[in-house]
Amino acid sequence: MRESIREEVALMRQLQQQRTEEQANSKWRKRVSEHRRRMSKSQQA
C-alpha cells in the first residue's frame, strides 16, 4: 500500500511541476509578443 501511495504522490508532484512550467512559458510568450509589438510600433513611427 505505502509504495503505491508514494508513487501517486510522485506523479502528482510531476504533474504540478509541468503545470507551473507551462504557466511560466505562457507568461514568457505573452511578454515576448508584447515586446515585439512595441518594437514594431516604434520602428513604424
Three-state SS at 41 = helix
Spatial distance between the Cα atoms of 8 and 18, rounded to a whole number of angstroms: 15
Q: For residues 19 and 21, give the distance between their C-alpha atoms in angstroms, rounded to a whole number.
A: 5
Listed in sequence order, the residues at least 6 apart from 24 whose beta carbon sits closer than 8 Å to its beta carbon are none
Cα distances from 2 to residues 6, 7, 9, 14, in angstroms, run 6, 9, 11, 18
What cell numbers appear for 26 in the block?
Answer: 505562457
Q: Is the pLDDT of residue 1 over 70?
A: no
Q: Which residue has the higher pLDDT, 18 or 2?
A: 18
pLDDT for the residue 44 = 76
Model's pTM, two decimal places? Answer: 0.57
